[in-house]
Structure 1
Amino acid sequence: MRLSPTEQKYILHWGEMGTRWGVNRTVAQIHALLFLANRPMHAEEIVEALNVARSNVSTSLKELQSWGLVKVSHVLGDRRDHFVALQDVWEIFRVIIEERKRREIDPTLSALRECAIEAEQDRTMEDATRERMAQVLDFMEMLASSYEDYKHLPPATLKRFITMGGKVARML
């Protein structure tokens, strides 16, 4: 697959953004490549297009599959696995948010809840410290609860909601 200069720029930038979001650069670049591709690609094509090691491509594809962003596809007459990325940006957004919540927010909430229980028993802790810990827990629980309220909204409704956000804030 020959990439145009614009496609190269897009893929390189997506890789840079991935590193800022805590995602391996190659993982993000492969995701961008598959997102832009108009057909399923096998690993050797990805290696050639991005000029990265085959082992790196294999590992990255497994990670993308674990996130649910890339799926295996089969091509008639070819025994190799081919890969396709989700194409709907709203679905990509939903999957990423859901996975980040599961991997980051949920464990944090569990730890904060444990700390809140322990803080009630910890007589060496000052009340002001206990209160700040409770505020963080309340904030994180509010975020998680809000996510649960919005995650089942259809993309069109969510888009309207996001578009209204600035107007609602100004009104309030």
Structure 2
Amino acid sequence: MPRPIETFVLQWGDLGGQWGVNRSIGQIHALLYLSERPLTAEEIADDLSMARSNVSNSLKELLAWNLIRRVPVRQDRRDHYEAETDVWEIAARIAAGRKEREIDPALAALRHCSAEADGDPTVSPVARQRLQAMLDFTVALDRWYGQMLSLPRGKRDMLLKLGAKIASFLPKEKG
């Protein structure tokens, strides 16, 4: 494996660990992302010096996140895998998975706690206000996520490129 590819694979695995994803999953995703052809589990295990069982479990996780797919290869009965290579699609799929696993349960819990707090005279007004603030923030984040996904790709690209330029049009806050 060429040095720059090896470096990317190792670093993507380390970053995955920081994002709460098993290092092996990150490395396999990186290898498949950079591969010019679909790879078998055996090839992945050999290239990354990983146990076949670890590769198998990691592939299942990547399939569940919809970041890779099985593809048929002519005259080969083994499973071959390739990664999604469109970075917007990768980001959208990761965001959708995280939303489902993190934001949706947080919203449900905050809605429940806020509703219970509103009807409970033993909960202080400060605690109710803070629960509502957290709920409002999470609802706004969820709404923003939906808006970003509903934008046509060209507008998302434009919005990303505008970046900090948009912030320069906002009024400056004192303080």
Alignment TM class, shorter chain as reference: over 0.9
Alignment partners' CA distance in 2, 1:44 and 1:157: 41
Amino acid at match of 1:83: Y
Percent of aligned pairs with the same residue?
Answer: 46
Give the match for residue 52 of structure 1: 50
Give the match for residue 138 of structure 2: 140
What is the CA distance between 1:120 and its match in structure 2? Answer: 1.1
What is the CA distance between 1:65 and its match in structure 2? Answer: 0.3
Instruction: Name structure 1 gaps, 5 residues minimum.
Output: none
Structure 1 stretch 121-130 or stretch 79-88: which is displaced more?
121-130
What is the CA distance between 1:72 and its match in structure 2? Answer: 0.3
Alignment partners' CA distance in 2, 1:29 and 1:155: 28
What is the CA distance between 1:156 and its match in structure 2? Answer: 2.2
Give the TM-score normalised by the residue count of structure 2. 0.95
Q: 2:73 aligns with which of 49, 72, 75?
A: 75
Q: How many residues align?
A: 170
Instruction: Name structure 2 gaps, 5 residues minimum.
Output: 171-175
SS, match of residue 84 in structure 1 = strand
What is the CA distance between 1:30 and its match in structure 2? Answer: 0.2
SS, match of residue 122 in structure 2 = coil
Task: Kindly report which structure 2 residues correspond to 1:57-136, keeping only aligned pairs within 5 A, or say none.
Answer: 57-136=55-134
What is the CA distance between 1:155 and its match in structure 2? Answer: 2.6
Q: Which runs of 4+ in 1 moved over 6 A?
A: none
Give the match for residue 14 of structure 1: 12
Q: Cα deviation per residue 1:50-98 (whole Å; 9 max; x = unaligned)?
A: 0011100000000000000000011111111000000111111111111
Alignment partners' CA distance in 1, 2:153 and 2:102: 24
Give the TM-score normalised by the residue count of structure 1. 0.96
SS, match of residue 122 in structure 1 = coil
Amino acid at match of 1:59: N
Q: Give the aligned CA root-mean-square deviation in angstroms.
A: 0.8
Amino acid at match of 1:143: L
Amino acid at match of 2:62: L
Give the match for residue 43 of structure 1: 41
SS, match of residue 150 in structure 2 = coil
Alignment partners' CA distance in 2, 1:140 and 1:157: 24
Amino acid at match of 1:19: G
What is the CA distance between 1:33 and its match in structure 2? Answer: 0.3
SS, match of residue 124 in structure 1 = coil
What is the CA distance between 1:165 and its match in structure 2? Answer: 2.7
